[in-house]
Structure 1
Amino acid sequence: MRYVLLVAILCITADQLAAQVTRIDTVSYPNPIIPKRKQYNFNTDFWYTIALRTYAYEQFPQLLNQPTGQSPTLRSSFNGVLFKINDNQVAYRLQATHFNNDITFDHECDGCAEVAGKFRNTAIKVGAEKSVNYSRFQPYFGGDLGFMIQKFNTKDQDPVVFAEDNKNAVLFSPFIGTKLYVVPRVAIGIEANFNIAYSYQKVNTYADNSFTGDPEQTKRYRWEYFFSPVAAVTLQYNFGLINQ
């Protein structure tokens, strides 16, 4: 009888222990929640850029008999366009600018404190630029080669001086700049450059107080160097996604 009771107790105990044990392979767990990686959708990789030069504060080649290093520094706005082709490494650029305004500047001549006149300058340049990085804020550097045509005609003044200055120049213009993408397709850029020019100048001075008669001519070739602290502030539009 004792053995029968012992066997019964062991069976009941084993049944209780089995009820408390759960097999691991039968337990269901909820699917783990993995945080999504933050997406960065600000794309600045575009094939083409077209820009409008909205402002500039720049030096120009010397006029008439200005002393060396005293070439005019003038402000202008909305007088140039820029087109670029980008290939993720280097941007190739073509730009054109035109200045047309009345100016006044100091002049080196007997009895002349200032000279006033009509000043026109047209420049066409091709070049390349390299961005330091490819974020929203992109510093860059590069260089342009170009050709410049410059004309200046004096106006009536006291004492009266009648003269015209025509100049052609070949340019090399290394530059540095930076641009900020406001939105993926629109950026604002600013750059400064240093210009090395080899120029041909012809100055006609008229002794009869008019642009008629035989002028006194001065012709010369020379190297010139001038700096543009704000060569261009540009508003740029980008289009044609590279990774599309």
Structure 2
Amino acid sequence: MRYILLCVFLLCIGLQELTAQVTRIDTVAYPTPTIPKKNHYHFNTDYWYTVALRVYAHEQFPQLLNQPSAQPYRNSYLNGIMLKINDNQISYRLQAAHFNGDVSFDYECEGCGPVVNGKFRNTALKVGAEKSVSYSRFQPYFGGDIGFMIQRFFTKGYENTAVFAEDNKNAALFSPFIGLKLYVAPRVAIGAEANFNMAYTYQKVNNYADDSFTGVPDQTKRYRWEYFFAPVAAVTLQYSFGLINQ
């Protein structure tokens, strides 16, 4: 009988120890997980298409008449548009720009005055490609364009003379460029670029005795290479659409 009571006593003590070491998992409290927030909002810059408006430019043009010095730099505003198509590596671009305004410049010739005033028009069409160095909000890029330029200038009269002139020029262009683009908002970017233009030009100058531009003109024709620079070829406002990875 004593042995039976001893066994029952030991069994009770063992069960008590086992019960004390077991913890029910449904009673364990876990801390609430915390998901860290992003410090900066990421702009997606991968779009199929971009439309850009040329807001400002500061550039040279091919030489007018027989100017003895290089062309001056001229400003223009809101006179160009560009369409870009992106294949996720290179952007292919098509652009057009038109300059139309009154100009004056120094000019020396036999029977002419020292200053020429006239109406100047220049239209350029270009196609090309650009490659971005990075794909963040701030994107340096480089590339090249080829194109065609049509230019016309007609004088309002040489100073102190009745001689009038018309200068027509066509040019084939190659324009390497570098630029910067900054996304200020999703889909919206501001860009600026500079280029150097190499042009093979055909020029025809007609000199008339009066402003009627009639009769047989004193005519000059010539082909030549010309080089001119645009430190600000375009400041553009760009809008992109068509996400590549959507």
**CA spacing shift, 1:209–1:46, aligned 2, 3 Å:** closer
Matches within 5 A, 1:1-244: 17-18=17-18, 20-22=20-22, 28-30=28-30, 33=33, 35-36=35-36, 38=38, 40-67=41-68, 70-110=70-110, 112-160=113-161, 161-208=163-210, 210-244=212-246
CA distance in 2, matches of 1:171, 1:132: 25
Following the alignment from structure 1 to structure 2, what is the Cα–Cα distance between the partners of residues 95 and 15?
A: 88
Whole-Å Cα distance in 1 between the matches of residues 4 and 212 of structure 2? 142
Q: Is the Cα contact below 8 Å between 1:62 and 1:72 reproduced in 2?
A: no
Aligned length: 243
Please, what is the CA RMSD of the aligned residues? 2.8
For normalisation by structure 1, the TM-score amounts to 0.87
Distance 1:209 1:23, change over 3 A: closer
Shift in alpha-carbon separation, 1:180–1:50, aligned structure 2, 3 A? same
Shift of 1:43: 1.2
Asked if the contact 1:61/1:72 (under 8 Å) is kept, the reply is no
Amino acid at match of 2:59: E
Residues 185 and 13 of structure 1: is their aligned pair in 2 closer, same or farther, counting only changes over 3 Å?
A: same
State, as a whole percentage, how many aligned pairs show the same letter.
Answer: 66
Tell which deviates more after alignment, 185-194 or 10-19. 10-19
> Post-superposition shift, 1:207?
3.7
User: Any unmatched runs of 5+ in structure 1?
Assistant: none
Cα displacement string for residues 19-53 of structure 1 (whole angstroms, at most 9, x for unaligned residues): 64335978735276253573955211111111111
Distance 1:35 1:239, change over 3 A: same
C-alpha contact (below 8 Å) 1:90/1:129 kept by paired residues: yes
SS of equivalent to 1:53: strand
Q: CA deviation at 1:105?
A: 1.2
Distance in 2 of aligned mates of 1:200 and 1:89 = 37
Amino acid at match of 2:68: P
TM-score, normalised with respect to structure 2? 0.87
Listed as ranges, the gaps of 5+ residues in structure 2 are none
Q: Write the deviation string for residues 125-161 of structure 1: whole angstroms up to 9, x where unpaired.
A: 0000001111111111000000000000001353124
Aligned residue type for 1:72 = P
Q: C-alpha distance in 1, partners of 2:236/2:211?
A: 42
